Structure 1
Amino acid sequence: MAKQNKSAPQQRREMTGLERLGLRVSSMINHPLAQTQRWVTIHQLDTDAEADWEEVMGLLSETPELDLTFSDDGSVTVRWERLEDDGQAFESDEDLVEEEEAPF
């Protein structure tokens, strides 16, 4: 009689709240509109644990290329300058984009 190979079922790993928040913030920063205007406003959701929010905001604030503005309503606006290919920041009149609210 042939033996049947019974492999253990693949266990699906749940994302932590910190991972979900980090992914959401990363997606917002990398959104094409945010990349064009070089800023994005991030809001803490009810589902975001305070400790996770503080950790992600701490990581962002430690990034020298980012400028964070904390608002009274709890939102955080992240701004950055466009970098040339050699890593030097620049801004000219042609680079200025009229600010409009991002769709998130």
Structure 2
Amino acid sequence: MAIPKQQSKPVEQQEISGVERLGLRISSMINHPVAQIQRWVTIHRLDTDGDREWEEVMELLSETDGIDMTFSDDGAVTLRWEMSLEEERPVELVNAEPAPF
């Protein structure tokens, strides 16, 4: 008995907007472990970043509490932030067992 082939459904690819693409790039830079340790990141504008998209994302960042923005002459932007209250709390281990090695 032959097993019928499953027809693969065409995958719909949704285009993301320039603002979303730039936002994802900046978000991944901010969330990078090194950036989280040093609490700053420098964002360079790429040729693919449109004027409107860049201005919109920079405005959103400027409205975000706890972020200090420094604009460089070359167009780069350095974001700095302080440790949040949640990060300042020491981690408590409850019922911690010694490692088995």
TM tier relative to shorter chain: 0.7 to 0.9
TM-score by length of 2: 0.74
In structure 1, the residue matched to 2:12 is 11
1:40 aligned counterpart, secondary structure = strand
Q: CA deviation at 1:83?
A: 1.4
Paired residues in the alignment total 83
Q: CA deviation at 1:10?
A: 4.3
Tell me the distance in 2 between the aligned counterparts of 1:59 and 1:45: 18
Show structure 1 runs of 5+ residues with no match. Answer: 1-5, 89-104
Decide which structure has the larger Cα Rg and report it: 2
Is 2:47 aligned against 1:43?
no
The Cα RMSD (Å) is 2.2
Identity within the alignment, %: 62
TM-score by length of 1: 0.72
Tell me the distance in 1 between the aligned counterparts of 2:57 and 2:30: 13
Show structure 2 runs of 5+ residues with no match. Answer: 1-6, 90-101
Q: How does 1:47-62 map to 2 (within 5 A)?
A: 47-62=48-63
